[in-house]
């Protein structure tokens, strides 16, 4: 009697056990964590764009190579800690256009280093000055490389192109999450494009489009607004304008009467204030987002660029 009962129930018991084992196995497979992907961004703005692409992927660890408050790293010297970051990185996201020339030798010496994602690879050549009236104190676009101004991050339209390049690069490295990267990038690009359109709108209605820039880091911001860059005061951080260059610049500003002299908060604004006082042309600060706080939120770029739009609207939008 007992034997018959066991024999009748065994098939059901075996099937139940197998079902439980299959459920446990499938849960275990789904719960297996993805392999960590270390993504190293070279500069503060590139770091912001990258974080907006990967924020929905917990297996991606994003780091910044240089300090957030350093600004443009034209002459940056790598530290031992930086070298450790490079050695651990799966992918290295760069601004491109020569901004990271300080990395050429270390990357050439590395054996099988990180995959490089060049965020600036798809940026078109900017218009160059066509007349002698467009002057600089020390040469237009001294930081340019092969005719390019590498501060592309300061223009929202270019930032959108950089974001797309970052998402596409990460999708090639991590194809399993390509849709996630592309979706996050698409949402961010929509917001960046709206900022670019806002800048273009104010330039379209401006009766006077002339602007003088303290530094060529603001070039793309002004270009997005369709403004006429009459002069760049200083393109070399180590060599301020000479007395003769300041005289020429003052004469140009008095003659052309730009609507604004724009300062970059990365640099001391003493010369900007002096030029404004000498010419009676207003001066204001515009932030190219070259640097920022260590705990910058994901919308930091949008917040700063919105403030830039408000400043420019005050001087260029007559409505």
pLDDT at 6: 34
96: domain range? 37-127+146-192
Residue 141 has pLDDT above 70, yes or no: no
Please indicate, yes or no, whether residues 74 and 168 belong to a single structural domain of this protein: yes
Please indicate, yes or no, whether residues 18 and 102 belong to a single structural domain of this protein: no
Please indicate, yes or no, whether residues 211 and 266 belong to a single structural domain of this protein: yes
Residues contacting residue 103 through CB under 8 Å, at least 6 positions apart: 42, 78, 94
- d(CA 184, CA 101) in angstroms, rounded, equals 30
pLDDT at 22: 52
pLDDT at 33: 62
pLDDT at 127: 55
Quick one: pLDDT band at residue 14, thresholds 50, 70, 90? very low
Please indicate, yes or no, whether residues 118 and 227 belong to a single structural domain of this protein: no
The CA–CA distances, whole Å, from 135 to 139, 147, 204, 212, 267 equal 7, 16, 24, 10, 20
Residue with tokens 């700063």, as numbered in its chain: 304
Does some domain include residue 215? yes
Number of domains in the chain: 3
Please indicate, yes or no, whether residues 228 and 289 belong to a single structural domain of this protein: yes
Please indicate, yes or no, whether residues 77 and 210 belong to a single structural domain of this protein: no
Please indicate, yes or no, whether residues 166 and 212 belong to a single structural domain of this protein: no
Quick one: pLDDT band at residue 235, thresholds 50, 70, 90? low
Please indicate, yes or no, whether residues 68 and 184 belong to a single structural domain of this protein: yes
Please indicate, yes or no, whether residues 75 and 26 belong to a single structural domain of this protein: no
Please indicate, yes or no, whether residues 122 and 157 belong to a single structural domain of this protein: yes
Please indicate, yes or no, whether residues 213 and 257 belong to a single structural domain of this protein: yes
**CATH label of the domain that carries residue 83:** 3.40.50.1980
Average pLDDT estimate for 7-27:
44
pTM for this model (two decimals) = 0.85
Does some domain include residue 222? yes
pLDDT at 31: 47
């Amino acid at each position: 009697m007992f034997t018959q009962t066991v024999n009748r129930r065994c098939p059901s018991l075996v099937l139940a056990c197998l079902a439980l084992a299959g459920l446990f196995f499938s849960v275990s497979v789904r719960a297996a964590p993805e392999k960590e992907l270390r993504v190293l961004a070279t500069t503060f703005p590139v770091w912001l764009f990258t974080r907006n692409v990967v924020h929905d992927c917990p297996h991606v660890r994003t780091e910044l190579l240089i300090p957030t408050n350093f600004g443009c790293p034209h002459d940056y010297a790598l530290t031992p800690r930086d070298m450790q970051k490079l050695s651990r990185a799966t992918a290295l996201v760069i601004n491109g256009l020569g901004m990271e020339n300080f990395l050429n030798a270390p990357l050439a010496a590395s054996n099988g280093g990180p995959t490089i994602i060049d965020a600036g690879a798809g940026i078109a050549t900017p218009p160059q000055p066509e007349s002698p009236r467009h002057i600089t104190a020390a040469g237009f676009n001294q930081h340019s490389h092969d005719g390019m101004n590498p501060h592309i991050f300061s223009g929202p339209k270019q930032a959108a192109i950089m974001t797309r390049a970052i998402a596409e690069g990460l999708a090639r490295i991590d194809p399993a999450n390509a849709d996630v990267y592309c979706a996050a990038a698409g949402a961010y690009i929509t917001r960046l494009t709206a900022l670019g359109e806002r800048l273009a709108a104010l330039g379209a209605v401006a009766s006077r489009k002339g602007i003088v820039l303290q530094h060529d880091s603001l070039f793309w911001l002004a270009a997005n607004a369709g403004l006429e860059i009459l002069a760049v005061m200083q393109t070399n951080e180590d060599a301020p304008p000479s007395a003769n260059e300041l005289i020429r610049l003052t004469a140009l500003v008095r003659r052309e009467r730009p609507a604004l002299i724009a300062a970059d908060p990365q640099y001391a604004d003493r010369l900007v204030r002096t030029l404004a006082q000498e010419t009676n042309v207003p001066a204001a600060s515009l932030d190219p987002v070259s640097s920022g706080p260590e705990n910058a939120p994901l919308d930091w770029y949008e917040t700063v660029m919105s403030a830039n739009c408000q400043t420019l609207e005050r001087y260029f939008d007559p409505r």
